[in-house]
Amino acid sequence: MIQSSSRPANPSRLLQVLDGRTPDRPPVWFMRQAGRYLSEYRALRAEAPDFIAFCLNPEMAAEATMQPMRRFGFDAAIVFADILLIPRALGQDVWFETGEGPRLGEMPSVGRMRELADGAGDHLHQVGQTLSLVRAALEPEPERALIGFAGAPWTVATYMLDGHHNTIGKGERATARSYAYAEPDKVDGTLEVLVEATARYLKMQADAGAQVLKIFESWAEGLPDDLFDRLVLRPHQALVARVRELGVTVPLIGFPRGSAAHAERYAAEVDVQAVALDTACPLEVGKRVQAIKPIQGNLDPLLLRVGGAALDRRVDQLVEAWGQGPWIFNLGHGILPDVPVAHVEQVLKRIGAQ
């Protein structure tokens, strides 16, 4: 098994950037690059009985991970999985309603989840098997990196707390935020459990061959300063510290989506190796963050869907603003299911990656 400290002798462009260097061109990968916009993905997905079964089938998940790599030659593959596998490992029922998205059953007690947290990585060993299969497939091309990931504690907690209501994933996560005010002990205890479970899960991914780990904080927006500190900043600091305590040395990318106002502080105070920026982050803010550490982002997925001259102009603006420093070209959020494949190819050609 590949150890968590392993690095290729000739690091990929992605690893160069995460070391603070500026390669000959920005490395390119897209969030949700394996997904419904690809016909081959839709055909593969139809073979699985449900989405969770799909994620936990190593052969199918590895194939989904490799499909965009074969088609586009991205600089990095990201393992096909889902952030809601962690609640499942902590004893909470998780399922996906057709046309509606994820649903979760009643959340177990904090005490019960604490008993299960240490085994989260073992419980999700299928994801490690997927990573090992993909790592083997990528080995002949060491310039392409492999990314593992997990949802950040607050984002995962929002689903766990609100998962049986129709408000999940909508608005400002009002139910989960209300819990943070009304039941602070329950919410803070849940975040502590998620820090430990997620750290164990990320270690397992690094041991299985992930060369980079990404922390997805999808619901960091709309939080006042005190809640941002309590729900995002401090849990991220604790998670990174715990991952390092477990012996993981691969670089980490933090993605506090929707928090451009806090981006510089996040970059300075959370010990990740790069900060991913969302669509709404101004170019000037990105420059200031880039002065602290490498950045990733932030093309609008809607613009990728539209294509044409406007897409070319925005790619050029991003290259002009951030291309002289360590920067990973990516979207500001996940690729949309109806994005034309030709528009992805347009971006890759524009940035010189195809």
DSSP 107-132: PPPHHHHHHHHTTHHHHTHHHHHHHH
Q: Tokens standing for 69? A: 């790599």
Integer Cα distance of 88 and 68 in angstroms:
27
Name 331's bridge partners. Answer: 299
**152-173: string of b/e by CB count within 10 Å (b at 16+)?**
bbbbbbbbbbbbeeeebeeeeb
Residue 32 region by backbone torsions, left for phi larger than 0, else alpha for psi between -120 and 50, else beta:
left
Q: How far apart are CA 59 and CA 132, in angstroms?
A: 10
* pLDDT attached to residue 97: 84
Domains of the chain: 13-351 (3.20.20.210)
CA 295, CA 13: separation in Å to the nearest integer?
13
Lowest mean pLDDT among 136-140, 263-267, 310-314: 136-140
Range with the poorest average pLDDT among 172-176, 217-221, 292-296, 325-329: 172-176
Q: What is the chain's mean pLDDT, rounded?
A: 93
Catalytic annotation, residues: 32, 36, 45, 82, 159
Tokens matching residue 88: 């499942």
The continuous run of DSSP H or E covering 200 comes out as helix 184-207
Quick one: pLDDT at residue 173? 75
E strands in 163-308: 212-217, 252-256, 274-276, 295-299
Q: What is the pLDDT of residues 293-321, one digit of tens each?
A: 999 999 999 999 999 999 999 999 999 99
Return the pLDDT at 42: 97
User: CB of 221 within 8 A of CB of 259?
Assistant: yes
254 beta partners: 215, 275
Q: How confident is the model at residue 166 (pLDDT cuts 50, 70, 90)?
A: very low
Question: How much is the pLDDT for 164?
Answer: 59
The tokens of 58 are what?
Answer: 């190593």
N-terminal to C-terminal alpha carbon distance within the chain: 32
The 10s digit of each residue's pLDDT in 183-220 is 999 999 999 999 999 999 999 999 999 999 999 999 99
Identify the pLDDT of residue 1.
24
